Structure 1
Amino acid sequence: VKPGFDASVLRLDNGKFLSAKIDGNPKHCYLNPREGAIGCFEEACRNVICTGANPIGMVDHLQFGNPEDPEVFWTFKESVEGVADFAKFLRIPCVGGKVSFYNETSLGPIKPTPLIGVLGITDKTFLTAAPPNSGDYLVIIGKTKDELGGSEYYEYIHKFVGGSCPIVNFKDSKINMLTVLSLIKNKLVKSAHDCSKGGAAIAISELSIFGNIGCDIDIEKLSYKKDFSIEKLLFSESHSRYLLVIDKKNINQVKQFLLKKKSTFAVLGKFSGDQIQFKYKSKY
């Protein structure tokens, strides 16, 4: 699988497949360097999971300003501790890395920018993303929360970088990873895509563009809470979320599996036509 999808996949000489992805989000790390760095790590894991590979190792490239500035050094310390905490929880070793300091201009230091690369392995085969067809269902795994802080929506619509960045729930993250891997292993998924920058609206649109097909989506099903604003539903950048394209012949089996696992999920709608339509409170 070439670069451009959720992760790249390489075939190894021993017949196994290696999945690789690098992720970063300076805005989240600027708002909260610890939680932002964990989010970068988890996003890279999600992308590897979407190929059907199990994360087995990580590398980092930590880019910061002048470490002699106490505030800059604090952001570095927080980022490193966050990455270490998540790596220990997932039992994923850090097998290499690089630190780059003194990244500044006359306007000041760069935003804290840890880049996290994750490697995953799969023994037999991997999930090749198949474009959605008419009648395919779209299922989301994970919780959409009130987490617009540091979002693309805030920056590009409201010209504002602020708020509280999304936070990774370690337990939910692991459960959702294993759930998606199980569905892929059982060949119940046509395509998997993570929700990240831009939120669910962007991720859903990317799938439709990939398949050159429209979709009919009930965005109120995105949240496990009532009375979320349309902006939060569409553009919240909550972590640990996966969009799964499911063939109509498999949708009942997938729902039964997710109910049995007590996973947080929703069937958002179907792919059809040539328009991307989001329904909110019975209106498009």
Structure 2
Amino acid sequence: MDADQLTTDCRALAARFDARLRLERRASVHTARAYVATAHRLLNFLALHRGGPVAPSDLVTLEASDLRAFLAARRGEGLGASAAAREMSAVRAFLRFAADQLGTSPALPRIATPKRPRTLPRPAAPADAIALAEETGAMARHPWIAARDTALLLLLYGSGLRISEALGLPASVHPLGETLRVTGKRGKTRVVAVLPLVAEAVGHYAALCPWPLTSDAPLFRGAKGGALSADVVRRAVASARRTLGLSDRITPHALRHSFATHLLAGGADLRSLQELLGHASLSSTQVYTAVDAAHMLDVWRTAHPRS
């Protein structure tokens, strides 16, 4: 059974779920698309599993065996542990939404989800982060693009921004001061510090940019004047990374990890770091304590005479 064979009520429920994610929860387009796709997969599976059409009311009476069977089917399709955990997170969100739409309390069956492998972010050394920003700029074909790429990467490293946050900045933030207000996930805003080096680099780019940086335009412009694409940045970084002989793990997002790790090593407390990164939960920030410990252990192994 495919999505076209779902009942009208189920298709309408999935459409309302999409609207809830985008408009009320302010989920990204990517997240909303993934969650709604999971909702359709669940509905299709249940129709096959039960041998008949599924109504929205069936979703509030699901048992643990139904969800275990769905998860087993997805794992059988090659879904890894991390992806399976994300899939079940989307399923729970959809079931909660269905219960809310039907005016009942969600009674979600409890099942064990796959353990996500714990991986630590790999920070770049400070010198490597700066070298990557400079080399990415040096490889650009036009001086203004060189200035743009260098300024953007310095901003990611110097202020701990996500690439989507940096690319979403309006031109009205220029000229940069000592702080910058950033809109992050789910429309939440935070204030980050701006280093003089970063402000200077952004100012240099703005002076060379051939496109008018009007207040309603994006700060970082693409070659044809539109908004700069994250994929363009990632490809430029990959080329510079290969030239410098850096690890494939040193991506634009890794510069944010580097920002966090270096601040923690310099004595920043977790609560302050949480605010600077825009994490909703302190547990997301606590991973950097392990990163810092791992970094110190690497230094000890390399430098200690008795290691």
Is the TM value for this pair above 0.5?
Answer: no
Q: 1 or 2, which has the higher strand percentage? A: 1
TM-score after normalising by structure 2: 0.23
Q: 1 or 2, which has the higher helix percentage? A: 2
Higher RCO (C-alpha under 8 Å, 6+ residues apart): 1
TM-score after normalising by structure 1: 0.24
Larger gyration radius, structure 1 or structure 2: 2
